[in-house]
Amino acid sequence: MQKFVIAGQEIMPGDFREIDINIARLPSHTVIDTPIYVSRGLEEGPVLALTAGMHGDEINGMEIVRRMLDTGLSKPKRGITICMPIVNVYGFLNFSRDVPDGKDINRSFPGNKNGSLASRVAYHLMREVIPYIDYGIDFHTGGAMRTNYPQVRAVLKDGVNNELANAFNAPFTIDSPYRPNSLRKESARKGKNIIVYEGGESLRFDQHAIEEGISGTLRLMKYLKMIDWAPEPNEENRVVWSTSWIRARNAGLFQSSVRCGQLVNAGEWVGTITDPFGEFKEQIVAPEKGYVIGLNNIPVINAGDALMHIGMDNLCRLDVPIAT
């Protein structure tokens, strides 16, 4: 079998190894290490990275990777898995999306060993992990009090990305362009295919999103022939080719009348904005037919705030009138 060495350590067939990657020190001289967990099957196969906690408050992804490690589901029969439950240890300790310098790690790739804290984390990830993988799943959630229905995001015109997304078979697959200086984009430049899984909201466990993330990961591992069994999907996969946001025209208190994941029709009442004093009430309607793939759970909103993320698949597109 081929020799496999990562972060200076050789991983033999059947091995499970925890490796600490040193990132930096806090002002208190406390050393911050990012642990990675490497599991190698007894047979040859691909190398799959499972990364979570790029944003330190996105705990659903951390729990997906943790449960897979805890139950042994991350251990392949063929190939290698590299699990990183928490990429952004700084943010995790401070309940924060970013690192202490205020920068977003997922906008700091490919990184710089002498750069900002976020840039240094990105640099170590690109240097110590990404060169050794074939594929990856990067787990994320919605932002503060904004929930995302379980979904995979990928550049679907890329054939390999399309195959990985289809194999994962989340409730929604969204055609999503690369974000500048993101892990997904910089990894693609090195010939590594990484898809993003989004589910739930930050700082709150969402059992549905966690279970869908685990099941989808197992389906992808089965597709890659790393394991022999995976659960069947509980929901039909819908491929979303375009999305739009419903935004508040006025400030006030927002109450949704629909659920995340629900299909809404053009002109359908989807929520209400009122003021705290009972002086006005505004009904919010969907501008087009689509699925609620993201929902704002914050009652107090300002004008321009995003209320709802609507995704359209091909069937929704067929209902759009053709301009003449």
Indicate which CATH number applies to the domain containing 247.
2.40.50.100
CB atoms near residue 300 (< 10 Å): 10
Q: Is the pLDDT of residue 163 over 50?
A: yes
Sign of CA dihedral 163, 168, 169, 171: negative
Give the pLDDT confidence of 22-42 residue by residue, as tens digits: 877 777 777 778 899 999 999
CB atoms near residue 187 (< 10 Å): 25
Q: In this structure, is residue 71 part of a structural domain?
A: yes
What average pLDDT does the segment 306-310 reach?
97
Domain hosting 309: range is 241-318
Regarding whether 164 and 270 lie in a shared domain, the answer is no
* Pairwise pLDDT comparison (25 vs 120), residue with the higher score: 120
Domain boundary among 223, 249, 270: 223
Q: In this structure, is residue 1 part of a structural domain?
A: no
Regarding whether 280 and 182 lie in a shared domain, the answer is no
Q: Is the pLDDT of residue 321 over 80?
A: no
Is the Cβ–Cβ distance between 109 and 180 less than 8 Å?
no
The pLDDT value given to residue 104: 95
Q: In this structure, is residue 232 part of a structural domain?
A: no
Length of the chain: 324
Query: Cα–Cα distances in Å, from 282 out to 100, 182, 309?
Result: 40, 38, 19
Q: In this structure, is residue 183 part of a structural domain?
A: yes
Range with the poorest average pLDDT among 11-20, 199-208, 311-320: 311-320
Query: Cα–Cα distances in Å, from 131 out to 25, 104, 105, 274?
Result: 25, 22, 18, 52
- What DSSP assignment string belongs to 181-207? T-HHHHHHHTT-EEEEEEEEBTTB--H
Give the pLDDT confidence of 259-283 residue by residue, as tens digits: 999 999 999 999 999 999 988 999 9
Q: In this structure, is residue 214 part of a structural domain?
A: yes
Query: Cα–Cα distances in Å, from 268 out to 257, 259, 283, 286?
Result: 10, 13, 10, 5
Q: In this structure, is residue 314 part of a structural domain?
A: yes
Regarding whether 148 and 266 lie in a shared domain, the answer is no
The pLDDT value given to residue 322: 38
The pLDDT value given to residue 291: 98
Nearest CA to 265 among 241, 288, 246, 294?
A: 288
Domain boundary among 177, 195, 223: 223
Regarding whether 266 and 150 lie in a shared domain, the answer is no
Q: Which residues are bridge partners to 119 per DSSP?
A: none
Nearest CA to 279 among 302, 248, 297, 252?
A: 252
What global pTM score does this model have? 0.95
Helix (H) or strand (E) holding 271: strand 269-274
By CB neighbour count within 10 A (0-12 exposed, 13-18 middle, 19+ buried), where does 272 fall?
middle
pLDDT bracket for residue 235 (50, 70, 90):
very high
What average pLDDT does the structure give for the chain? 94
Task: HSE, CB side, 13 Å, CA atoms: give it for residue 32.
Answer: 21
pLDDT bracket for residue 60 (50, 70, 90):
very high
Work out how many domains the chain is built from and give that number: 2
Domain boundary among 223, 250, 284: 223
